[in-house]
Amino acid sequence: MTSLFDPVLTAADSALRTLFARPHASRATPAPSEAPGEMSEAERREAGALMRVNHVGEVCAQALYTAQAAVARDPGLRAQFIEAANEETDHLAWTRQRLDELGARPSILNPLWYAGAFGLGLVAGRLGDPWSLGFVAETERQVEAHLDGHLSRLPAADSASRAVVEQMKSDEARHAAHAVEAGAAELPAPAKALMRAASRVMTTVAHRI
C-alpha cells in the first residue's frame, strides 16, 4: 500500500518545496569570471525580469521531472528523472538568489506554471519511456537555446547572472544528451513547434509578472 502512494507523496512534497520553501543548492553558486559592474536602474530591472523567467523555467523543470518520474515504467529511468530534478534544484536556488540580489520577485503565477508543467509531464510519461525521454531532450534543447538568448540580453555588467546562466546552459545540454543516450524518441515537428509556442507565452508573461 505504501508503495502505491509513494509517487503521490513525492509529487506533493516536490510541489510544496518548489513553490513555498526556500530552495537549497548542493553546488556553490557559479562564480563570475570578473567582478560585477555598476548597473543602471533600467538594467537592474531587465536583469531581474530575465532571471524571473529563468526561475519560472526551473519551477517548470521540477514539475516536469517529478511527474515523469511518477509514471516512468523503468525504475532506472525513474531514478534518472529524480537525479535530474535534484540537479535542477541547484538552478532553482541560484535563480532565486539572483532575484533577491537584484531586488526582483518570483512570478506570482508560479503555482499555475507548476501545475501546467506537471500535467505535461504526466502526459509525456504516459506515452511511454521513449517519448517521455524525447520530450526531455527537446525541452532541454529549447531551454539551452533560450538561455543562450538571455546571455545576449543580460546587461554586460551583470556578470553574476551571466555566470549562473552559463552553468545552467551547460547542465541543460548534458541532460538532453543523457536523454538521447537513454533512448529518446525524436518528437514530430508539430509537437516541437507547439512546445516553442507554449514557451513563448510563458516567457512573455513571466517577464512581466
Going by the annotation, the residues of the binding site for Fe cation are: 58, 88, 91, 140, 172, 175
47 touches 102 (CB < 8 A): yes
- Going by C-alpha positions, the residue among 64, 77, 184 that lies closest to residue 134 is 184
Cell of 182: 537513454
Burial tier of 17 (Cβ tally within 10 Å: 0-12, 13-18, 19+): middle
Q: Residues marked as binding?
A: 58, 88, 91, 140, 172, 175
Buried b (16+ CB within 10 A) or exposed e, 155-171: bebbbbbbbbbbbbbeb
DSSP for residue 157: T
Going by C-alpha positions, the residue among 120, 123, 131, 119 that lies closest to residue 182 is 131
